[in-house]
């Protein structure tokens, strides 16, 4: 098994320095959060998934999802769909938008996605999945990666054969979430399958599932030999996790957790970035979910979460956070 550190590895010809990667998450890994993750040591940031059909039909919201800043690179932009022609076209649009890597989602378990045969539903149709991946590989000059699960359910954990098939069409790396589609995000991720995939493939493998801190990141890397950890829910309201992983892999040091005031200050920064890129009206609405994650576990967090959910202006949000910070100081 390879020694785990923060050295540079490659997805195709794209150098990745570090082992902690921001996973693609709808409603989370937008430009505001990607900038925070990058600032806090993410080796690679992945965008929210973008519909290949949305790109094909030039949906305005889809265009907004394609925007990225220079400081984010390297950026992996994730697309989803099950039509090879649409995927090829979308891959080219994503490449022109500046993505360093095109990632295809074959792991999303959400009903709205799988009901169209997209996301993890592609694991039930490996021939089509291979054609989809190959269409992207042939359409662009940047590396193409694929994110997948263990299979559809406990009776069809076909990830090993599926990953081999995907590798055979020229994909540059894969990411494996250690759950089936049926599990959604419940139960525990089974990392043993990630280990099997890593041992069978020649391309890099990223492991995903139940990485919530530096210790679990190191455990996943050690147990599976995978090249990097893809951090999803563990990064929600927690951009510090990337530097925590980096530091622990570098010298075994566990960084202190952010204080209550550091968490509130980061929440404000996140809010300001949302307002900058999406406008105040949308920023005020979208910060509500993030706020719940940032303040979770703090004194009276339920009361303040409920209050934040009733706010509609930038001034009101900032005033609420300032009041909460003052209350915490007095405690």
Give me the count of residues in the chain.
Answer: 331
Using CA atoms, how far residue 316 sits from 226, 267, 303, in Å, is 45, 14, 16
Is 24 known as a binding-site position?
yes
Non-local CB neighbours of 83 within 8 Å, separated by 6+ positions: 52, 53, 132
Is 25 known as a binding-site position?
yes
Is 261 known as a binding-site position?
no
Q: Which of 46, 108, 226, 275 is catalytic?
A: 108
| Residue 251: count of CB within 10 angstroms of its CB | 8
Is 18 known as a binding-site position?
no
State yes or no: is 108 an active-site residue: yes
Non-local CB neighbours of 145 within 8 Å, separated by 6+ positions: 11, 76, 101, 102, 103, 104, 171, 172, 173, 174, 175
CB crowding 88-112: b at 16 or more within 10 Å, else e: bbbbbbbbebbbbbbbbbbbbbeee
Is 147 known as a binding-site position?
yes
Is 74 known as a binding-site position?
no
Q: How far apart are CA 172 and CA 169, in angstroms?
A: 9
Is 183 known as a binding-site position?
no
Residues serving a catalytic function are 108
Question: Residues annotated in the binding site for FMN, as ranges?
Answer: 24-26, 78, 147, 177, 232-233
């Amino acid at each position: 098994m390879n020694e785990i550190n923060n050295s540079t590895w490659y997805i195709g010809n794209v150098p990745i320095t570090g082992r902690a990667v921001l996973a693609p998450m709808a409603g989370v890994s937008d430009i505001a959060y990607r900038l925070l993750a990058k600032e806090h040591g993410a080796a690679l940031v992945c965008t929210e998934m973008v519909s290949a059909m949305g790109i094909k039909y030039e949906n305005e919201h889809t265009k907004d999802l394609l925007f990225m800043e220079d400081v984010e690179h390297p950026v992996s932009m994730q697309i989803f769909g099950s039509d090879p022609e649409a995927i090829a076209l979308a891959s080219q649009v994503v490449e022109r938008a500046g993505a360093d890597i095109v990632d295809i989602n074959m792991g999303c378990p959400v009903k709205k996605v799988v009901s169209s045969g997209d996301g993890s539903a592609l694991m039930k149709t490996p021939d089509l999945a291979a054609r989809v991946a190959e269409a992207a590989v042939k359409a662009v000059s940047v590396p193409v990666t694929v994110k997948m699960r263990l299979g559809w359910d406990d009776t069809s954990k076909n990830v090993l054969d599926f990953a081999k098939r995907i590798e055979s069409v020229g994909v540059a790396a894969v990411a494996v979430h250690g759950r089936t589609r049926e599990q959604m995000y419940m139960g525990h991720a089974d990392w043993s399958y990630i280990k099997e995939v890593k041992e069978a493939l020649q391309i890099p493998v990223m492991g995903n599932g139940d990485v919530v801190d530096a210790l679990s990141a190191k455990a996943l890397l050690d147990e599976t030999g995978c090249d990097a950890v893809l951090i999803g829910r563990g990064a929600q309201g927690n951009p510090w996790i990337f530097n925590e992983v980096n530091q622990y892999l570098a010298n075994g040091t566990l960084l202190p957790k952010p204080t209550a005031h550091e968490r509130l200050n980061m929440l404000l920064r996140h809010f300001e970035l949302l307002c900058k890129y999406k406008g105040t009206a949308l920023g005020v609405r979208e910060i509500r979910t993030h706020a719940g994650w940032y303040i979770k576990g703090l004194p009276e967090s339920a009361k303040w979460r409920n209050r934040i959910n009733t706010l509609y202006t930038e001034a009101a949000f900032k005033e609420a956070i300032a009041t909460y910070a003052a209350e915490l100081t007095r405690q």
